Amino acid sequence: MKSVLLIGLGRFGRHVAMKLNEMGHQVMAIDNREERVDAVLHYVTNAQIGDSTSEDFLSSLGVGNYDVCIVAIGDDFQSSLETASLLKEMGAKLVVARASRDVQAKFLLRNGADEVVYPEKQLASWTAIRYTADHILDYVELDDDYSIFELDIPKEWCGKTIGTLNIRQKFGINILGIRENGILNMNITPETNLSKENSILVLGRQKAIQKYFHI
């Protein structure tokens, strides 16, 4: 369990709060609008109405005591930038800030943010890839080169073992797990047999996976 300071409770921030609650973390939620704070009260440990660009207000929260500070402000970049800067000045251990464009990310990283997330950009990429191929079930981009895909098992693989296919040596693609009846099994071996009822989790370079699986 970690302690999280979540600043900004718009749609993105609210969903972050709900997920953190589901994971069992302690969350202090902050926003300058009362209705937004009220909307997350059931999902957080504590919540306050306040201005995160106020040094006095942030100081009263004990910023350095949190494992991570998430700046989820999406409608006021100036406030997001000032908040990230103040958090780092006050000794925040890890500052994660939301950005909408590359130029925002650059400013945030130069002024206090340790990490930057792009909710719209990341979801747009996932949507474009997920829904333009019939056999992709899920997709996670790790960096510009590597990704994890969950895919239907190709017909030519059915009835064969992972060791027989040997796609790691041939194509640089790693099979991480198999999902059967909704249950993901990560304990696979070269002797694991594949069937059409399964889906697979694979890791590799995007270009290699896209080429091999005709994505």
What's the pLDDT band for 215 if we cut at 50, 70, 90?
A: low
Sign of CA dihedral 8, 12, 16, 19: positive
Output the pLDDT for position 202: 86
Sign of CA dihedral 11, 12, 17, 19: positive
**Rounded CA separation 46/20 (Å):** 13
How does pLDDT run across 121-132, given as a tens digit for each residue? 767 766 766 666
Burial group, residue 126, by CB count within 10 angstroms (0-12, 13-18, 19+):
middle
Helix (H, G, I), strand (E, B) or coil at 18: helix
Helix (H, G, I), strand (E, B) or coil at 51: coil
The mean predicted confidence, pLDDT, of the chain is 88
How does pLDDT run across 63-72, given as a tens digit for each residue? 999 999 999 9
* pTM of the predicted model as reported, rounded to 2 decimal places: 0.70
Q: 175: which 2 tokens?
A: 């099979």
Between CA 162 and CA 173, with CA 167 as vertex, the angle to 5 degrees is 110
**Rounded CA separation 150/146 (Å):** 14
- E runs forming strands in the chain: 3-7, 26-31, 46-49, 68-71, 95-98, 115-117, 136-141, 146-152, 174-180, 183-185, 199-205
Higher-scoring residue by pLDDT: 174, 69: 69
Q: 50: which 2 tokens?
A: 């306040």
Judged by average pLDDT, the poorest of 102-106, 128-132, 154-158 is: 128-132
Output the pLDDT for position 49: 97
